[in-house]
Amino acid sequence: MTDSCTRCVSAVILNYHDNENTLRLVNNLQACEVIDSVCVVDHSDEGGLTGKEEIFGLDRVLFKKEDNIGYSRGNNSGILAVESQYGLPEFFLISNPDVEVDCRSIISCIHFLDEHPKFALVAPRMLRADGSFHDLTGWRTRTVRGDLAYSSGILARLLGMRKEAYPIDYWNSLPFVQVDCAAGALFLIRAREFRSCGYFDPYPFLFYEEDILGEKLRHMNLGEAILTNCTYQHLEGVSSHVSLKKYLNMQHSRLYFHRIYRHASFGSMLVLYLATALGTIECILKLLLRRGKT
């Protein structure tokens, strides 16, 4: 293992059947002078990138093949691979493959964390694929009431959605804004603080990882921020279809977040479980109706 970098960024990218975007992002990051190494964790069932490293001729790029163990455990695996191979960097850049970010935005994030020691995590403002600003670049701490709406289509219509979103004018007031939780599509985080909080909680499979990380950092009296004067684009290139399994994974993570990290009361958890039962019935009915049409 080499000595720890004194001034470097290691990027971790989780690839799930998105080779084209993954390679594009790896090449872009390698051209950025502050990126010291890249680890691609390959969760593709078949046809992934692992084993083809020599074809690409990439320097200081690790490819790690694993079964699909989810966002949290997959990223943790990449982080530990970087530590083992190159030592602990100064920063980790956690990124989806389907993003476009320039080196200037990454450098702006580094400068921000240098100048603001009370923040451990920062991200540029997120754009949609069409170039418009995304309203969920970052969000407020999720509440039981807000998550009831996400648990059921009926409850969504009764209670309203996106209660966690900041108002539009919040993003236009200052060069940076503090958020309770930054989107997990791309962010820069200090490696030592990340390691101190235990990296990502390995329990959630695909949902609420960012929310849990926000809670863990907050318990360390550290904040998260979004830079409003630089951006990255989230292309959302690979979408996973809605299924009962996906819904149940989401609800398991949602219930875990409120029980373990928000210490929700018995009554609040009971209501969330009932909403999950309602949402499960809705999901099954939708699947049955879809099959009936085919």
**Residue 91's closest CA among 3, 178, 12, 185?**
12
Using 50, 70 and 90 to split pLDDT, how confident is the model at 59?
confident
Which region among 133-147, 162-176, 185-199, 275-289 has the lowest average model confidence (pLDDT)?
162-176
CATH topology of domain 1-97: Spore Coat Polysaccharide Biosynthesis Protein SpsA; Chain A (3.90.550)
Q: Given this model, what pLDDT does residue 4 score? A: 42
Residue 5 reports pLDDT greater than 50? no
Using 50, 70 and 90 to split pLDDT, how confident is the model at 43?
confident
Task: Summarize pLDDT for 87-134 with one digit per residue, the tens.
Answer: 999 999 999 999 999 999 999 999 999 999 999 999 999 999 999 999
Domain ranges in the chain are 1-97
Contact between 232 and 124 (Cβ < 8 Å)? yes
Q: Given this model, what pLDDT does residue 61 score? A: 87
Residue 283 reports pLDDT greater than 50? yes
Using 50, 70 and 90 to split pLDDT, how confident is the model at 3?
very low
> Which residue carries 């990124």 as its tokens?
95
Longest dimension (CA), the chain: 61
Contact between 138 and 182 (Cβ < 8 Å)? yes
> Which residue carries 């720890």 as its tokens?
4
Q: Given this model, what pLDDT does residue 29 score? A: 94
Q: Which residues pair with 39 in a beta bridge?
A: 12, 62
User: Tokens at residue 180, please?
Assistant: 């309770």
